[in-house]
Amino acid sequence: MKPTLLLLPGLMCDHRVWAHQVEALSEAWECVVVDYEGDDNLVTMARRVLDQAPDSFAMAGHSMGGRVALEVMRLAAEKVQRLALLDTGYAALADGEAGEKEVAGRMARVKTAHEQGVTAMARDWVTGMVHPDRLNDTALINEIVDMFNRKTPAIFEAQIKALIDRPDATDVLASIDCPTTFIVGRQDAWSTPEQHEAMAERVRHSRLEVIEDAGHMSTMEQPGAMTEVFWQWLS
User: Where along the chain do its domains lie?
Assistant: 4-92+168-234, 96-161
C-beta atoms surrounding 16 within 10 Å: 18
Evaluate the CA torsion angle 28, 16, 228, 178 in order and state its sign: negative
Amino acid at the residue 225: A
The pLDDT, as a whole number, for residue 205 is 87
Model pTM score = 0.97
The helix/strand/coil state of 61 is: strand
Mean pLDDT by 10 residues, the chain (235 residues): 97 98 97 97 98 97 98 98 98 97 97 97 95 95 97 98 98 97 97 98 96 98 98 96
- CATH no. for 4-92+168-234: 3.40.50.1820
